[in-house]
Structure 1
Amino acid sequence: MYKKVKKKLFNLFCGELVATILFAFLWFFYLPQSDWFSLYVKTIPSLLAFILLELILLQGTLYWYLKWKQVKNNDFSNLPGAYLQLFNLFKKLNALFIFIGIIILGYLIINGAEEIYWYIFIFGFAVLEHINYYHIRLSYQTSVEIKEFLQRKKLVRSKLAKELTSIKTDKTAL
């Protein structure tokens, strides 16, 4: 079981890192080559949504890296409090940026901006990633995980959300 968990965590952190790098490559080198995409890629709202997505993916990369490092040392506990405080800060900053993103979305709707669908796609992806990490687990990668999800018939809290709850209960105990 130890090797299986270690491999899964390694794959999660590498997958998030590769996705972050690949998305940045596509954004800055591939999409601008297309005449019809270059308009959308170069707008401030779309760039802000993309930066939010990249930041959240980097947070996921860091989280899975830290969990992998822990398991490598045979430590299956929650992350240390300092790391959890950092992720709590990330969660609050994400919420602020998502709020700003909603205001931008309202602005784009009011002005009938052409890039609104591209913005909704990128911003929506960022919001779903935030939810997946900090609230409810939305991604199920293996057939076993999908089968377990279907048997439960309900969404479960994400691993990070559970760990962040532990620091809140520790504070109330003091």
Structure 2
Amino acid sequence: MQKRVKKKLVSLYTGELFAVFTFALIWILYIQLFEWSVPYLTSYPSLYAFALLEFILLQGSYYWCLKLKQAQQNDFTSLPGRQLKVFANFKRLNTGLIVIGMFMLTYQIISKPIELYWFIFVFLFAVIEHINYYYVRLSYQTIEEIKELKRQKGYRKSRLAKELESFLK
């Protein structure tokens, strides 16, 4: 059981970190290789949404790294208070950044620039990741996890949300 948990934590930690670097690399390569992509990928709103997404993915990677370190010490409890305080601050900061993004979205919809749909796609991806970490678990990767989702008849709080809820009480 503990070995399986550690393996899952390694997968989550490295997967999120891999996504951060892969997304950045692909973003840069597209700008370099495909002239048509430049207006979409270099506009301020698109860069903002991309930076927000990367920031939130880094938070997820950091969280799973901390959980992995705990598991390696056979500690399967919640993170220590000082670490949870960091994530509570991340959550507040993300919310503020998402609100700023909503203003950008409103402006984008009114002005209808060429990169509107790209911005919406990346911004929504960032918002979904924020929800996935800080509120409700949205990602189910294995058949067993999908079966569990069906059994519980709906989504459940994410692990980080549960830890933050206990910490903030």
User: TM-score, normalized by length of structure 1?
Assistant: 0.95
Alpha-carbon distance in 1 for matches of 2:30, 2:105: 25
Q: Gaps spanning 5+ residues in structure 1: where?
A: 170-174
Alpha-carbon distance in 2 for matches of 1:45, 1:146: 35
Alpha-carbon distance in 1 for matches of 2:151, 2:77: 27
Measured after TM superposition, the shift of residue 152 of structure 1 is 1.4
Q: 1:22 is aligned with what amino acid?
A: T
Matched-pair contact (CA < 8 Å) for 1:88–1:164: yes
Alpha-carbon distance in 1 for matches of 2:9, 2:130: 19
Matched-pair contact (CA < 8 Å) for 1:41–1:47: yes
Alpha-carbon distance in 2 for matches of 1:118, 1:31: 14
Q: 1:132 is aligned with what amino acid?
A: N
Matched-pair contact (CA < 8 Å) for 1:60–1:133: yes
Task: Find the counterpart in structure 2 of residue 53 from structure 1.
Answer: 53
Task: Find the counterpart in structure 1 of residue 141 from structure 2.
Answer: 141
Alpha-carbon distance in 1 for matches of 2:39, 2:111: 16
Greater CA deviation, 107-116 or 67-76? 107-116
Task: Find the counterpart in structure 2 of residue 127 from structure 1.
Answer: 127
Alpha-carbon distance in 2 for matches of 1:79, 1:144: 26
Alpha-carbon distance in 2 for matches of 1:51, 1:129: 13
Q: Gaps spanning 5+ residues in structure 2: where?
A: none
Aligned length: 169
Q: How does 1:12-161 map to 2 (within 5 A)?
A: 12-161=12-161
Measured after TM superposition, the shift of residue 31 of structure 1 is 4.2
Q: 2:64 is aligned with what amino acid?
A: W
Alpha-carbon distance in 2 for matches of 1:83, 1:49: 26
Alpha-carbon distance in 2 for matches of 1:31, 1:59: 26
Alpha-carbon distance in 2 for matches of 1:119, 1:150: 33
Task: Find the counterpart in structure 2 of residue 172 from structure 1.
Answer: none
Q: 2:46 is aligned with what amino acid?
A: S
Alpha-carbon distance in 2 for matches of 1:121, 1:36: 17
Alignment RMSD (CA, Å): 0.8
SS in 2 for 1:157: coil
Matched-pair contact (CA < 8 Å) for 1:50–1:123: yes
Measured after TM superposition, the shift of residue 104 of structure 1 is 0.1
Matched-pair contact (CA < 8 Å) for 1:32–1:41: no
Per-residue CA deviations over 1:63-103 (Å, capped at 9, x if unaligned) read 00000000000000000000000000000000000000000
Matched-pair contact (CA < 8 Å) for 1:9–1:64: yes
